[in-house]
Chain A
């Protein structure tokens, strides 16, 4: 039976293709890392027999004879039956499987080539490819890279999105709100008017509100400490407001980085005085959850806090899971436990301090009683290992000094291969739904490789050369045809061909089939992606179209009304919703209490602020449907929206319904859509009329505001508004 299976596998692979070469990064490194490196790897304290297998120059001295597996000591040892000879030794909990032995043998037979991982190689400055597809020219460098790949795969870019949809996409992406109802939408969008709209939205202060939220996810921002006590942090918002401002002022990303890692060490004294204006940027490090319970070991709590800082910087700036090296040398990436604590050492002499005037939480260097940092064996804060000095990761280009300021400068130095790539990828992911690297918090060897490595490097280089301007980078991306493409699959109906003519239905279907076959995940970007709105954008959209949204920027967080089923004795039992129209502010300002997360947001995948969230999940659950149908804020928004439309003097029901549709979805309804709405509306009105006053409950608290003669019409419009706000089109960014 077994032989049969193997035989059929062999046949299948022989037919398909010759067996692929063994890849060091994909096949070999994971084996060596998990079964050999512990004693023969980067960690010099644990190294046995002076043998290193992680560096080729060392490995080929004795253990490996490239091309000659039978002459290699390594193969002899791993195949040995002598218990004193065999490797890994019998005492090891991790013996090699026969498949792994075979892979190692093949790899040596093929020359034992090592590979450096792409993300640790220097950022290159690739040339923009000449357009390989003369039928779809575009002067934009991004398009050149994307279309070059598409052409190689036999795919074509999708046509440009229509004007109303494109404008809606741009508003939602750049300022996190739908276009205003009174925006006049041209049927034809010229390049210059599109560019003007981009500039206008980038200059809009609501841009900072939207994009700061992306950063706050990574900064694990919250307004409370977490853990059992979950004490309030009444001044945490000062950091949040600083981030909003930084985005609105387009603070260069290198400066933005330094301000957060080591803003306290910058010499920014006002001339002639001793007064130092401290940037709230270092509040970044104060966002982590903090265990302040009585009886908590202070030393352990401190250690956990520092570990969180190190791990967060690793994920956010370098896209590395360096946290793995906290207990042991990293299994996949070249990060030793010694590296980890050398990095940790940059933070070992910091203390928490609050600004004397604003009370903003800050980080500062201690002046007295400085600590000598050491390796914490197995990640145990009580087990002292060798002493270490502050140092950046040994696998990356080194830096000069040993202060936090120098660490920050190292992060944003042009020689650092990670920071610019990671930043560019993160911004890209917010405009396409996925990064060029689909594991934005893992650029290491167990993450995914970039779909367009050259484009990634070109963007990273361009980003650094243009002074790390995020607004400029965003503009570059949204000006590309790749961004402006249609997001639909264009399956059944005709699809516009590149010349602008309506192509036949069959060619549309063919294209669909081709795309879903060649590139089911749309990695090559032969179209835009539809993206389920982020929780905040969804709530804000509902408030915006209904006219309830209160636009104040910044200031202390507010408390929305909590649903009845969310409660916890002692914490939320005395929850009091903020007064007046405070509760209609943007979701960014909803108080984030780690123990009482606002369910309307978490249901739509808002993060819990426990760790840095680099990429949100995008789930689709029945609870979301229930939230859209029944949650207070959406019900109230539908009521207000209905009344808003009712106030517009209108000649007919159908023009009123068309208005309602336009306000909600930013386009005129198609005739068949209007027909369906009209039928539903009429049926509802009949139902309401026959039910009597009971049916007017639909208007809730708005009932007294409606003239009695219009009450039934208002109720029917509320029902219709609820339908529109539940549509997939409303819930998604096109």
Chain B
């Protein structure tokens, strides 16, 4: 019997060893998995591969033949190799003591003592440590790479403005082509750097220089690019083996292209063109039509925002001042620069400028027209809409034809708005010479005049006549008696009873003399009069003047409107004499004749193509030659529509269908579906046109009925 103590010791060691091996193997597998996952992530940008890769690595390293299993023989071998004092006889300790020969028993006793002296070894601890370190290192590095890739993608997305979908799009390329590099040199105005891509579908700024470098895996006789089915670019071989080819073109038209290798054509690849946008000008202030009334500051603060996609090189104001009236209108045009300087690099500017109208030479009655013009790096001009600023001529307002008579013929309490303005101005001039009391009284009187005028116009709006506070000149009109005599006849008169309690006159809704537009303007006038009255009654005639002028201008506008209306209704033409009409000599006049033939639209054919595609779906029989021609025409029509790149798959599908039909085969259903959808989207809505009803001809019974009905 072997010593149980040694057996146990060996057993413990074996278990620990086995666990260490297992752990280090697992760690190694995880390390490998991390490395592979990082590689996959760098290529495809997807993390979910981690799970299958880990499972595969673990299975590959742990499963085969339980390689991590440690047997007792391994432990003995380890002792024999590691400790010379065991004298290559560790195995003796495991055998039953009785079975050993005498010599062996002696040896066993000897090494048992040696074994007691040896501390429990820790095999493979170093190995485990290395595995652990490697794992941590790899994990750190791959985390770093993951973070870097993430940041890089975000930066690229930010730079290009659009997500880099290019890495995801899968292209079908000819088997002979091993690779392509397309260099895109954007034009100078974009201020963008040259870039390269490894795929055929490309997107370039308008006017960019494109350089294709195509590598083939075998020598090729000729290589061409077919642009939009119309232009061919022959590529030049740059090496002797004819496997490197280059060619150039400028990106001018959006569409598609194919690579033609000898006589073989590739799939269609799209060319998308990014056009330069015109500058966009947005005028924040002032409004499109501004009137500067009397008393308002003659300055216009201009606030403009100008944006462009690549850069603005210049912007200025183009101002025109029109002064004078009638035939003596004079125009003065002048450009006005903004204070900002334009470098051509900025894509957005907020420009501000204060226009001093007096400095522009504007007098009352003048008008200022201006627009903003901006130019971008590509020398594209954009201009804003025309804006207008008007300084009304107060003298013109006061001037009324037929006012040669300077006498005031109207009753005094009906002073006109014009009279009020004249008197206000007089009051302002006389202010220095007048006593304070007199000045205030006159100002108050003017306020009362303004009020009377307001009440007068207010009547048109159906406003109630107010009690005239502070003025005894206005007669009390409203004081009539509601109480009426009691008459026995009226005993049952409901109307009368209601009259007694109702207040029936001056209802705003009943005052329907004017249309709503006139009413609203009248209301605006009255508001101005209110304001003027307020200022006059607080003894501030200077502040009242702008309101008075505005009220006058609005009143004049109203008068002009009513005049136009009256003129229109009063037209009376003299009665016609029919017997005298058209009695002139007409024999020299020829009969005008017009004759023309209209041509039918292409879209008709496309509508038929839709129905033909629909029959292809059932796949029962192949279409005839005429139908195939219609399909070919539709394909041609599709090819002209590929500028948007939206119909590129449809064009490809259509060609696939035509190729299949040419070989007397059924068209692939997926292609039919794509082509059908594109054609449907491309077709305009059919026009709604008149169509005669149907009737079966020559039905004698119906005709007999009809004849008999006619007879009656």
Q: Specify whether A and B are partners.
A: no
List B residues at the A interface (Cβ < 8 Å): none
